[in-house]
């Protein structure tokens, strides 16, 4: 079987590192991103590893996902990394409907929109690896009612799929990053960043490669007895 892995939100940040790591491990990679630049990112990865293609798609839309994935041979899909996500942090009393809606649609609906395209073919293949990127904020965090709700939803989704699909040889796990250096967290004021690092027992901010390492482990064919877990990548951080 061709081992192709879909990685959403892979134009930059954690998703890009995941795509790069998995490409270096000889999986075929389908990079998916809202930003059209993903086509060129995939060309660059392809020139280095010879096994990447890019698809432009807004994963918050079911229709866009149906269209974007209609042209690929679904039987070739070995795994999915549901990584695309946004945040719109603001105290709940100031949160607008648009801020709530955008985060829930991108971070939670995308899990359904993307994964649902491939579950039938994975069941037929009697094999699949699904890795969903949650966040340490799933447990609740000030200013993140929208994001925390979506990321907690990711965990319920992951554990349910693990239960429903295990009998078909499909594993489903969540990777739970703590505080990771990416364009998303680069926007954070220096003082807040320092406060976060104080709370991390390992005393450093995580890297996108740290997260890619966890995803790589869960993707391996012989990780077939690990399903429904939350793999925290946070240097021991507890929010």
Question: Does 13 sit near ligand NDP (CB under 6 A)?
Answer: yes
CB of 61 to ligand NDP, least distance (A): 8
- Is 34 in the active site? no
Question: Does 99 sit near ligand NDP (CB under 6 A)?
Answer: no
Question: Does 148 sit near ligand NDP (CB under 6 A)?
Answer: no
Query: Which region, judged by CB under 6 A, interacts with ligand NDP, from 138-146, 180-188, 191-199, 212-220?
Result: 180-188
What lies within 8 Å, CB to CB, of 44 at 6+ separation is none
* Site size with ligand NDP, rule: CB under 6 A: 27
CB of 208 to ligand NDP, least distance (A): 6
Q: Which is nearer to ligand NDP, 29 or 180 (CB)?
A: 180
Which residue among 71, 183, 201, 221 contacts ligand NDP (CB under 6 A)?
Answer: 183
Window 64 to 93, contacts with ligand NDP (CB under 6 A): 83-86
Which residue among 22, 29, 59, 131 contacts ligand NDP (CB under 6 A)?
Answer: 59
Question: Does 60 sit near ligand NDP (CB under 6 A)?
Answer: yes
Question: Does 33 sit near ligand NDP (CB under 6 A)?
Answer: yes
Question: Does 54 sit near ligand NDP (CB under 6 A)?
Answer: no
Q: Which is nearer to ligand NDP, 168 or 209 (CB)?
A: 209
Alpha carbons within 13 A on the beta-carbon side of 225? 0
Phi, psi of 228, deg, nearest 5: 80, 15
Question: Does 237 sit near ligand NDP (CB under 6 A)?
Answer: no
Measured CA to CA, the distance from residue 26 to residue 220 in angstroms comes to 12
Residues forming the active site: 147
């Amino acid at each position: 079987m061709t081992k192709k892995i879909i990685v959403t939100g892979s134009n930059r940040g954690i998703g890009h590192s995941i795509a790069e790591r998995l490409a270096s491990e000889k999986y075929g990679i389908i990079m998916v991103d809202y930003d059209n630049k993903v086509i060129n990112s995939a060309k660059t990865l392809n020139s280095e590893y010879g096994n990447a293609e890019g698809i432009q798609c807004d994963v918050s839309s079911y229709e866009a996902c149906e269209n974007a994935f209609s042209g690929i041979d679904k039987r070739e899909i070995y795994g999915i990394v549901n990584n695309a996500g946004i945040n719109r942090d603001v105290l709940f009393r100031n949160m607008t409907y648009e801020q709530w809606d955008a985060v829930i649609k991108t971070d939670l609906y995308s899990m359904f929109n993307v994964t649902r395209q491939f579950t039938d073919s994975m069941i037929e293949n009697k094999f699949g690896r699904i890795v969903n990127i949650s966040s340490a904020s799933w447990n609740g965090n000030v200013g993140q009612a929208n994001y925390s709700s979506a990321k907690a939803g990711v965990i319920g989704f992951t554990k349910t799929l693990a239960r429903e699909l295990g009998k078909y040889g499909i594993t489903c796990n969540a990777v739970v990053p703590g505080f990771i250096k990416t364009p998303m967290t680069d926007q954070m004021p220096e003082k807040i960043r320092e406060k976060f690092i104080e709370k991390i027992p390992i005393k450093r901010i995580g890297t996108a490669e740290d997260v890619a390492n966890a995803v790589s482990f869960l993707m391996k064919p012989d990780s077939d007895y690990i399903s429904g877990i939350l793999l925290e990548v946070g240097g021991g951080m507890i929010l």
